[in-house]
Amino acid sequence: MQLVIISVITIFLTCISFILPKKISVGLLFISSCSMIVYLFMTNEFFDAALSLSVMFVTYFSFSVVFDHDKKLKKQQLQQKLSVTNFQIVELKKDVRRILMDIWLAGGIAGVSVICLLFLPEMIITLKYVLGYYLILMLPPFLNRLLDYLFAKVYMLPEEQVLVIISLLEARELPMEHLESIQKQSNPDMLRLHPSFAFLSERKDYTTSFATVLRLTFSGETMYLTPVNVEAWSMYWDRFIQVAQVETEKNILPIWHRSNIKRLLWKGYFAISVKGVAAYTALLSILIFLHCPWYVITVFVFLWWLFNMYIADRLLIHASDAEEVTAGELYHISQEIFSQAGITGTRLYMIDSDVYNGFATGMHIGKGTIMLTSATTKLSSSAVKAILAHEAIHIKKRDVMVNQIGRMVLMIVLGFSIFVSFDLLKQLIEQPLLFIILINLFSAIFFICLSGISQWTEIRADYLGAKLLEAGNRHMADGLKELAVAQDQATNKALQYSTFEENNHNSIERGSWLLRFMEFQFMPHPPLYWRIQQLCKEENWKSTRKAWLIARIKESWPDFFQHKRVNL
């Protein structure tokens, strides 16, 4: 109960700080957080206080995305613009059943975690905290969706050729020159739009009924609206699109249609087993409830892990609504790469998404699948070929399985270390500061090792993937550079729609030492600037591995230990 109270108080303070001016809110948050920290450590044991403190910080950082001062300033600016500019209101159809369906889906996904949270034995309190964190992280996107349904208003500024959307906590300004396409849909696609099912997407759901939907695709973001006069607004906005498109309406079946049941089950399982841990926790709760021995529990959890590995490709295909590519230029490019790599049975899928990304999945070559987002396929054929070559090596070398086995081995080592030193750890609880330091140190070592395994497979995919390309390393470097530039541009545009922020980070330039430290030590990919720079050196695999190991140490130090900065 204390954790619930702490979360509620933190949300309340975050909301109050959002209402107050930024300078005042900073002081309020500082005083309030200090007071809560003092209270927690005065009224609780050190370990309980530290866990409660972690819940407070997770709650604050989750909800600070919703209660954002930069978004508030953007909203105020747009409200002022509307007061002095001619505009047309884009009236939206309203149907309360639409938001009730969102609530029902959110409740179904969160309900599994809540049940586990209530009935999970106290002996595995760590999992309870993990479930609590997951529920906290679920709330902000759903709160955004609820507020958008209740308060969002859409305006068209014909003189400035801008679409403005103003909700309670945020607003968006979308230049029509950035509009790339319009699509009519017969109904809102609930299994694509709901926050719990979001995967590799930058979508804003402003649908307020089950009427015909207009999907507006801008550079970096996609909007879904249900205007009253669909035909008129579709024709009006269509003239801003530079490339002519075929007028077709996509038929979306209702969520309760029998053909959507399978899709719902896959997406629901994805939400509770990949985006959350409720599936594993539910299994663990049942086994503990049945008083199973520890070795039986271990075997069951391991078998479930193997099962999830086996269905990983199908799970991600259904979760992302990916469609297999079986013809066209992209198909022929992929088949050429797959043939050179010796993985001719590999399938290529495309995910409808504005995010620039591609990845490989599947336990082994026979079950290998490569997925590209639709945004990525708009890059030059040369860049797409480089990305496919990189992913093809992941399939050929079974890197998905390598990373999962590495994760499992590290978890076993960590668990065995805790088991062996359990008596020592119990004594250290009486020295709480030392205990917390050691726990964080072990956690950091775990994630650094996990990152090391993943990064090793990434640089190998760069190096060997380049051998599948005509121009070798230079081709791979140029492909990664084009991908990085497109990612930065899309991120910058998406930020400008809702805030005054700009993406100052340039992925192909060497960043600050802190950013380099985080990327080299904890991220699954080495920094792009280093990957491109290394490819341009045309070194052999042995030298590349050595250079990466040196860079993980050398590039993680502050700049005054480094040589003069090198820009690509």
Dig out the tokens for 211 from the structure. 């009427």
Q: Which residues pair with 80 in a beta bridge?
A: none
100 CB neighbour count, 10 Å cutoff = 10
Give dist(CA 431, CA 427) in Å, integer. 8
Judged on CB neighbours under 10 Å (0-12, 13-18, 19+), 436 is: middle
Catalytic residue, chosen from 391, 458, 482, 555, is 391
Q: What is the pairing mode between strands 347-351 and 323-324?
A: antiparallel
Q: In sequence order, what are the residues at sequence separation of 6 or more whose Cβ sits closer than 8 angstroms to the Cβ of residue 89?
A: 153, 154, 155, 156
The continuous run of DSSP H or E covering 351 comes out as strand 347-351
Q: Determine the residue type at 87.
A: F
The continuous run of DSSP H or E covering 350 comes out as strand 347-351
Give dist(CA 191, CA 182) in Å, integer. 20
Give dist(CA 387, CA 401) in Å, integer. 20
Q: Determine the residue type at 111.
A: G
**Residue among 101, 110, 105 nearest 272 (CA):** 110
Asked if 386 and 465 count as a contact pair (C-beta separation under 8 A), the reply is: yes
> Helices (DSSP H) in 421-554: which residue ranges?
422-428, 432-466, 473-498, 513-522, 528-536, 541-554
CA angle 504, 508, 511 (to 5 degrees): 55
Q: Write out the DSSP string of 226-280.
A: -BSSHHHHHHHHHTT-SS-----EE----TTSGGGHHHHHHHHHHHHHTSSSHHH
Q: Is 391 a catalytic residue?
A: yes
DSSP 197: G
What CA–CA distances, in Å, run from 267 to 113, 151, 170? 16, 28, 29
What CA–CA distances, in Å, run from 422 to 245, 435, 443, 510? 65, 12, 16, 43
Q: Residues with catalytic annotation? A: 391
